[in-house]
A and B are shown apart, each in its own frame.
Chain A
Amino acid sequence: MVKKIFAKGYVWIILFLMYLPILTLIAFSFTEAKNIGSWTGFSLNLYRDMFKNEEIVEALVNTILVALSAGIVSTILGTLGAIGIYYSKPKSKKIMNGLSQIPVLNAEIVTAISLTILFVFFGVEFNFLTLLIGHVVLTVPFVVLSVTPKLKQMDPNIYEAALDLGASPKRALWKVIFPEILPGIFSGFMLTITLSLDDYIITAFTRNNSFSTLSTYIYGATAKKGALPPVLRALTTAITLLVFIILLIINFRSKNKKVVNHRGVRQ
């Protein structure tokens, strides 16, 4: 009993400490004080300022734009890559799997710098495309890593069966393999989005300086003024709330899915 209280206490203390910075910012987002720690009365003005702040709105839109574009490109490229690698000869399989590991294991700063060198070396101007390439390099291996296990779990005979029943290889791929690996594709896509939303280093080195995402905007704001500008406290609340809602939905959905599966098994 004492052990249980001790264990639970430890977990909750660490959780509390982990969330303390974010919770503090959220608490002080309801006052206009310049710095956290001083309270100048309740106000929702920071929230109004956040929606009026064009830089923040633009950074937010850009961040979502980059994440979605990188998500779509990485998911297509990575899914096709995973299928291709899975059916390649052992030797080329080994080479491509090895290459896939490089961006995963490499330090992000080295990946970022190497891309900067590449673009400058070939005289490419930094624009949305270079930023997109940076984000795809960062995320595409994770799509391959999510899809490959689903390919391994798949019954290899169903593809052959589709061909025997007269489907063309393309049709069999689309109608048989694709539905089987869809969960892997979806989790790869979600992983890509979260990695892209969170990224600062790759973005900072592959973007055009006039294009800012939330990460580069916040970094710039803290570098200039030291403490976070008050309006970012409201933004923290918004982001945390959004993440919390999304996680709740995902958690709820996966619970529902388990129920359906369970019923399916019983039938």
Chain B
Amino acid sequence: MSKIRFSRKTLSIPYFAFLILFVVLPLLLIVYYAITDSDGNISLVNFIRFFQDKNKLGLLAFSVIIGVANTILCLIIGYPIAMILSNKKYNKSAVLALLFIMPMWINFVLRTAATRDLLYWFGINGGEHPYLATMIGMVYNYLPFTIMPLYTTMLKMDKNLIEASYDLGAKPHQTFVKTIIPMTMPGIVSAATMVFMPTMSSFVISDIMGERKISLIGNAIQFNFDQSRWNDGSLIALIMLLIIGVITLLTKNVQKEENVRGGLW
């Protein structure tokens, strides 16, 4: 028997096997349960049930709305912060930026519960105002994820182009819309994807902040599995996977275009 020759590419075999076993195979099982009925026969009954159920379609639409709302709120609050942090005139050290990221190291469940307790003290009861409390909880949790990619993009941004735009007679708002926004687009896109998808699929924040009165896609997946309705749960998980896949493909194109443009400059 010949000895297997050592080669650097063979080092990835354990990693590859791990991915196949614990990433690909589980997802195939989700697809399997989504396209079979409870007796294990291939059928589209789960799809039909889902798309005929107004509650479930409403839940899907509601999750998208919450996701979009949170993305917009985080961008509106976070964009100016990233701009100020990356501007040498206002901020000379990176310590301030570190302070914005530090909450991410404090346990996520603890942070969310702390936010809920504080709102409770201020008279915003999650049971009475589930939407408001959930939105606040979402913004609290995802703001650092918005600031981080925007900040790193802005640090790399060529400041001369902004100067050039002013020199060529652009007004501040024109410079912002025509120069700064396009230059920071990759950061905006990655911030938006880092906020939108986790928001619509989250279930911990809506559970804790909304006192279980709010249901998002994540809650629906969890609930169906809790009730041992694997087929329905898998279908919703599959829909979530498809949404993620489509968004990934779409944003990939945006970012590629940006790169090409960056290369031209």
Contacts and interface: CB of A to CB of B under 8 A. Distances in A.
Interface of A: 4, 7-8, 10-11, 14-15, 18-22, 24-25, 35-37, 77-78, 80-89, 92, 96, 99-103, 105-111, 113-118, 121, 133, 136-137, 140, 144, 169-170, 173, 194, 197-201, 214-215, 218-219, 222-223, 227-228, 232, 235-236, 239-240, 243-244, 246-247, 251
A19 B9 CA distance: 47
Interface string B76-93: 010011001101011100
A109 B221 contact: yes
A4, A25, A82, A100, most chain B CB atoms within 10 A: A25
Interface in B16-44: 16, 18-20, 22-27, 29-30, 33
Nearest to B219: A109
Contacts of B117: 21, 24-25, 35-36, 227-228
Nearest to B247: A105
Contacts of A19: 103
B70 to A, nearest CB: 15
Contacts of A22: 103, 106, 111, 114
Contacts, number: 230
B250 interface: no
- Chain B's interface size range is 35 or more
B114 A81 contact: no
- DSSP class of B's interface residues: helix, strand, loop or mixed? helix
Contact of A215 (B29, B109, B222, B244): B109
A21, A24, A37, A108, most chain B CB atoms within 10 A: A21
A7 B90 contact: yes
A227 B116 CA distance: 8
Interface stretch (B159-167, B178-186, B198-206): B198-206
B187 to A, nearest CB: 18
A198 B107 contact: yes
Nearest to A215: B109
B55 interface: no
A24 B203 CA distance: 25
A118 B30 CA distance: 9
Contacts of A100: 19
Interface string B101-135: 01111111111011111101100000000000000
A232 B140 contact: no
Given A37-B121, A116-B225, A251 B8 contact: no
B99 to A, nearest CB: 6
Interface stretch (B45-53, B234-242, B256-264): B234-242
Given A110-B201, A201-B204, A87 B8 contact: yes
25 contacts: A7-B90, A8-B90, A11-B81, A20-B118, A21-B114, A77-B18, A81-B16, A82-B12, A83-B8, A88-B12, A96-B15, A105-B248, A107-B201, A107-B240, A115-B26, A117-B26, A170-B6, A199-B108, A214-B110, A218-B107, A219-B109, A222-B116, A222-B208, A235-B110, A239-B107
